[in-house]
Each structure stands twice: as C-alpha cells, then as structure tokens.
Amino acid sequence: MNTSEQRADKSVLACIEGSKMDQAVCDYAAWISKGLQLPLQLLHNIARPVTAGMDLSGAIGLGSQELLMEELISLEEKRSKLSIQQGKLMLEAARDQVVNAGSTEPKLIHRHGSLSESLLEVEQEIRVLILGASSESLSSDGKHLSANLETTIRSLHCPMLIVNSEFVEPQQVMLAYDGSEASGKALGMLAQSPLVKGTHIHLVTVDQDQQVAEKLQSQAAAKLNESGHQVLASILSGEASSALCQYQEDHNIDLTLMGAFSHSKLREIVLGSMTAKMLLGANKPLWLLR
C-alpha cells in the first residue's frame, strides 16, 4: 500500500479458483492495482498435475490387458486437458472483469502443483497477494481453514488480502494494533497509502492493560493524524477475534488490517483455529501483514 516502497518488478497477484469469491477477488485486485499503479497478474493453479506418462499398472493389477492401461492413461490426459481449458476460461473471464473495472491488461498465469508452492516461486514479485475465502476455503466442519488456504497463509511473507465478501471500496478501515513489528508495518502503510486516503481509521487495541494500550494508541494515532487521517481509537477486552469481529460489525468496517505473528493475543488470529474463527466471524476482508 505504500507507494514509496514499490519496486518496478512488483505486481498485484490475484488467485482465481473458480469459487464464488472470484468476482470480488477481481474487483479488489483492480482497485488495488489502479490505486497503487502496479501491474496486475491473475493466477489459476491446478492442484492436480498433468498425469500423462504416469505408471498406472498398480491400479489395474497384474495380468490386466494393455488396452485397459492405454484407456486409463488416455482418461487422465483428457482430465488434465479439461482442467487446463477450464482454467483458461476462468482467467479469460477474470481478465475481462478487471479490464472493465478500469485495470490495465493483466498477465495471465497457469501453474500446476500446490498453490503454496506455485506462489512461493513468484513471491519476490508479489506486492500484494489476493485470495478468496468462501465456504470452499473451510474444512468440512466449518471450524478450520482448509489445508490449502492455511498452508498458503503460513508459507508466504508478502502482504495478503483475504476476500470474504463482495467488493466495497473502503470508507471505514480498522487497524488491529498491538505495537508489534507487523502491526507497525500496517500502521506505516495506512499512514502513507493512497488506497485509504480520506477514509476513517478505527485504531483498535485488544489488551487487558489499559495504560499500555493507551500509550500504544497515543503514538499510533499521532502518526495517523500527521498523515491527515481521522482516527477513532478504541480499547477492547475479551477474546481477541470475537471482540474484533463484533467491533467490525458494530462500526460497519469495510477493511481490517492486522499484523501476523505478533506477541500478544492478536498473534493467534492469523493462523490455526483463531484464523478460522476470524474468517467465520468477520464479514469483510482482512489484510494480513508479517
């Protein structure tokens, strides 16, 4: 979000998965790309690699006819081709959407393998990563992140926007601030970013120690005020994800920023069961930083 830190080889990368969140992912990608004046890339990843040439003999047993082997190989090749074609169609539709939203022509990327591995290969080129988090991103019990999304969040260190609702250009932005290095980065981004210029910033700290929280907020609010933001500071108590989600709902927050791997109660929000609670409880996108 901070244009002073941009590099010419950085871009906004949005993951297109064929889920109901793809449209919102595209809209947020176009908004960020335009606001930061960065090129946009759209990635579709096929988790199942092309299987042509695989040894399937163990699947049909000893003594099976060679014809059956050929048919199995042919079937796998057809499935792979269909997956690739489907991915191309998804990317073409996503490209049309972001262009209609005012973004420049994006680069379309097709990859095979796990999503986290594909993203790690290009992480150094990513300024902001945008991922959709719909019901498909949760486990069957609805209480945990899917292994795919959780592994991606754990593996990458670039800023990530997790999209869980339709696009709304942010007017009310919440910063979950605990004084950690990561939340400090989020603070710096908010202070300088053209994306949130003119928005209301809700500076929220979850802490039982009132004096510590007040000191942290005083310093952070001063920095935001200097950059021209209107700031509403609040100190919350209780379980962190529940308190933040409730605040988000009560104050019509459009976008929440938080640091990953902090050393307070906010630490657990980003990974593990607390992440699932936050994603289940939050009704608007989350911007995660490390």
Q: Are residues 132 and 246 in the same domain?
A: no
In a domain, 229, yes or no: yes
Q: Which of 37-46, 60-69, 252-261, 269-278 shows the lowest mean pLDDT across its residues?
A: 269-278
Answer yes or no: is 67 within a domain. no
Same domain, residue pair 127 and 177:
no
pLDDT attached to residue 198: 83
Cα-based torsion angle of the residue sequence 247, 141, 153, 95 in order, rounded to the nearest 10 degrees = -90
The verdict on 176 and 93 lying in the same domain is no
What pLDDT score was predicted for residue 264?
Answer: 47
Confidence at residue 6, expressed as pLDDT on a 0 to 100 scale: 45
150 and 259 belong to one structural domain: no
What CATH number is associated with residue 279?
A: 3.40.50.620
Q: Confidence class of residue 58 from pLDDT cuts 50, 70 and 90?
A: low
Among 143, 161, 179, which residue terminates a domain? 161
The per-residue pLDDT for range 86-137, each reduced to its tens digit, is 889 999 999 999 999 989 899 999 998 889 999 999 999 999 999 998 656 5
Domain that holds residue 102: 3-49+84-161
Residues 37 and 177 in one domain: no
Q: What is the dihedral of CA 251, 254, 259, 260, to 10 degrees?
A: 110
Could you tell me which residues come within 8 angstroms of residue 65 by beta carbon, excluding any fewer than 6 positions away?
none
**Structurally, how many domains does the chain consist of?**
2
Based on the fold, state whether residues 199 and 216 are members of the same structural domain.
yes
Please say which residue of 111, 145, 161 terminates a domain. Answer: 161
- The two tokens of residue 100 are 């209609």
Do 151 and 175 have their domain in common?
no
Residue 271's pLDDT band (cuts 50, 70, 90):
very low
Residues 176 and 152 occupy one common structural domain: no
